[in-house]
Amino acid sequence: MDVVRVQSEDFDVGAESERLHRAADEVGGVVIFIGTVRGGAVRAMTLEHYPGMTEKSLETLVEEARRRWSLAAVTVIHRFGRLLPGERIVFVGVASRHRAEAFAASEFLIDRLKTEAPFWKKEETEEGTRWVEAKEGDEDRARRW
Amino acid sequence: MVVNVLYFAALRDALSIEGERISLPETVHTVGALRTYLGSRGAQWAPLLEWQNLRCARNRSLCGWDEPVCDGDEIAFFPPVTGG
C-alpha cells in the first residue's frame, strides 16, 4: 500500500492524491507536501542520487513513520536528473484516520529526507554551476524528530 | 580485505573519480580508518582528509566513523545531502 519511487520523470499529483485517499475505508484525511525548483537566479538544477541507497533510505523513513504514527497509506516520490524552475522535485503524501497523524508524519518525512536521503543538488546560474550546500536549519528541523 | 569505495557529488568532482575497488592493509578496521588511509595517498586525495563535514555509508546505510569495515563491503563517502 505504501509507495516509494525514485524516478527522473514527473509524477501525477492528482493520481497520487486519489490513490492515498482511496487507500482504506478509514481514511479521514490526506496531507501532501510537494517540493519544487525555486525560480530566481537558478536557471536549472541537476539532482544526483546514490542508486540502491536512495530507495533503501526512503523505505527506512517510511517504516519509522509507521512505527510512530497510525497511518493508512504513505507515498514518497523523489525525482533525479535535470529540472527547471517550477518543476516538481518531491512528493510526500500521508493518509490517516485523523489529520494530526498525517500532518506530523508528512513533516517528519520531508524533514528527515532532507538530511538522510542521498540526493545532491547542483545549480546552474549565470555565473556557472555550483553544488548546493546543506543548510544548518535543515539539520535543526530534522533533529526535532 | 577488499572493499568497494564510492564517491558522490562535489567530493567525486574534487577527487576526479567515481569509485574504486581497493585492497586494504590489515590495520584498517573502521570506516574512519579507511578514510584516513584513502586520503593519505597523496595530494589528489587530500579532500578526503580536509573536508570537515563528510558523511559516510556502509552497505547503503548511513553510518558513523567508528563503523567496522568487512571484506566485500560497499563504503560511500559524500558531502551532506541536499535533496527534497
Residues of chain B found within 8 Å of residue A78, distances taken between Cβ atoms? 83-84
Out of A35, A90, A116, closest to residue B81 by CB: A116
Nearest to A56 by CA among B77, B71, B18, B57: B57
Residue A39 is predicted with a pLDDT of 86
Q: How many domains does chain A have?
A: 1
- Give tens-digit pLDDT for B29-55: 999 999 999 999 999 999 999 999 999
CATH number, domain containing residue A113: 3.90.1170.40
Query: Could you give the CA distance from residue B44 to residue B37 in angstroms, rounded to a whole number?
Result: 13
pLDDT-derived band of residue A1, with 50, 70 and 90 as boundaries?
Answer: confident
Question: What residue type is B3 in one-letter code?
Answer: V
Which range of residues forms the domain containing residue A31?
Answer: 3-143
* Nearest partner of B82 among A87, A133, A82, judged by Cα: A133
Q: Which of A127, A93, A88 is nearest to A107 (CA)?
A: A93
> Are A53 and B60 inside 8 Å of each other by CB?
yes
**Is the whole-model pTM more than 0.80?**
yes
